[in-house]
């Protein structure tokens, strides 16, 4: 009998849901509002979606912008206060009678790329998110190395941003995580905007910066040059440390494939393994990597237990 997974990708304002069957990618996507401030309403919303299906799912898989504490199994999730510091998996299992797996959205992205996308055929995949900020996930043998939760792959945080780039001093900007000098402050869309303002004294949207870079405008070209210098070394260290042989990139900033090509060109000379092919590549797992990755994790868990 087919093994059916109800997959959720949950954000602070909306919930996307789809069904995946027997290891396949999720199908048609439905959308719902997120009751972000009401725990009971939040649980009722997910349980109601499951109850409305014609067939009871064998598992529920959740991708969200939060972390499961591997020691307590409680959630760390800032944008959905309703479930912060709760054991969401246990609460939802008790309400529905269905096994629940939960993973960080960047981890789900990395799994989706390893199973369905650019990482297929690679033993170690380091999936990176270049969006508003910076995130990542690490997969070995198609599976997350931190299956129980935690912060593995979060290369955007920690005081490692270079203080010299492109021949000029770059301050350690304060990060939302409480530290200073995180790559998250300079390597995502808000980061490249922060760099441009620091270098030129004039704020500019990240899309406008990239458009001006493509047009060879002097200030934007300088900004992107410094950006590449900032990101290349830390990303090369991540590749050396993990042994990754492919780095699929997702998120809004990664949608600029010419920028990814420039990142790849800057990173490859700095890695110990001298790749003769692209290393940093566009994501290829489709429009819903959160749903796909969460479902893949549930299928893997089912395979382990059978």
What is the percent of the chain where pLDDT is above 70?
A: 100
CA 176, 181, 182, 183 torsion: positive or negative?
positive
pLDDT, one tens digit per residue, over 188-206 is 999 999 999 999 999 999 9
3-state percent breakdown (helix, strand, coil) of the chain, nearest 5: 40, 20, 40
CA 282, 157, 85, 71 torsion: positive or negative?
positive
Structure tokens at 257: 């494939």
Q: Rounded CA gap, 79 and 35, in Å?
A: 11
Q: Do domains 4-104 and 118-282 have the same CATH topology?
A: yes
Residue 19 CB-density burial (10 A; 0-12 exposed, 13-18 middle, 19+ buried): buried
Thinking of the domain 4-104, which architecture would CATH place it in? 2-Layer Sandwich (3.30)
Q: Rounded CA gap, 143 and 298, in Å?
A: 11
pLDDT, one tens digit per residue, over 238-287 is 999 999 999 999 999 999 999 999 999 999 999 999 999 999 999 999 99
The full set of domain ranges for the chain reads: 4-104, 118-282
Answer yes or no: are the C-beta atoms of 76 and 69 closer than 8 Å: yes
- Residues belonging to the chain: 306
Right CATH for 118-282 from 3.20.20.210, 3.30.1330.60, 3.30.420.40, 3.40.50.12780: 3.30.420.40
Q: Give residue 305's pLDDT band: very low, low, confident or very high (50, 70, 90).
A: confident
Q: Rounded CA gap, 87 and 116, in Å?
A: 29
Question: Considering only CA atoms, which of 250, 240, 306, 304 is closest in space to residue 275?
Answer: 240
Q: Rounded CA gap, 99 and 95, in Å?
A: 10
Residue-level pLDDT at 210: 98
Residue-level pLDDT at 15: 98
Number of helical H runs and strand E runs in the chain? 8, 14
- Mean pLDDT in the chain? 96
Q: Once rounded to an integer, what is the mean pLDDT over residues 157-176?
A: 93
Alpha helices, DSSP H, located in the chain: 39-51, 88-96, 105-115, 189-200, 206-214, 218-242, 257-267, 289-305
Top pLDDT among 271 and 306 is at: 271
């Amino acid at each position: 009998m087919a093994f059916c997974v109800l997959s959720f990708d949950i954000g602070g304002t909306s919930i996307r849901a789809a069904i995946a069957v027997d290891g396949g990618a999720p199908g048609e996507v439905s959308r719902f509002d997120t009751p972000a401030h009401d725990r009971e309403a939040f649980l009722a919303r997910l349980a109601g979606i499951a109850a409305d299906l014609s067939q009871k799912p064998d598992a529920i898989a959740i991708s969200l912008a939060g972390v499961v504490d591997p020691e307590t199994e409680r959630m760390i999730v800032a944008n959905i206060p309703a479930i912060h510091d709760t054991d969401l998996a246990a609460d939802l299992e008790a309400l529905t009678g269905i096994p629940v797996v939960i993973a960080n959205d960047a981890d789900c992205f990395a799994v989706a790329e390893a199973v369905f996308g650019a990482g297929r055929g690679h033993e170690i995949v380091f999936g990176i998110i270049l969006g508003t900020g910076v995130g990542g996930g690490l997969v070995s043998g198609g599976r997350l190395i931190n299956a129980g939760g935690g912060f593995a792959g979060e290369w955007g945080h920690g005081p490692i941003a270079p203080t010299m780039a492109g021949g000029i001093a770059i301050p350690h900007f304060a990060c939302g995580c409480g530290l200073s000098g995180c790559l998250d402050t300079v390597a995502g869309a808000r980061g490249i905007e922060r760099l441009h303002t620091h270098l030129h004294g004039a704020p500019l949207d990240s899309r406008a910066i990239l458009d001006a870079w493509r047009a060879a405008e002097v200030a934007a070209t300088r900004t992107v040059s410094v950006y590449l210098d900032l990101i290349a070394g830390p990303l090369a260290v991540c590749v050396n440390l993990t042994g990754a042989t492919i780095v699929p990139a997702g998120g809004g900033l990664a949608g600029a494939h010419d920028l990814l090509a420039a990142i790849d060109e800057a990173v490859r000379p700095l890695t110990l393994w001298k790749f003769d092919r692209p290393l940093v590549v566009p994501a290829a797992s489709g429009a819903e990597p959160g749903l796909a990755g969460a479902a893949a994790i549930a299928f893997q868990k089912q395979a382990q237990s059978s």
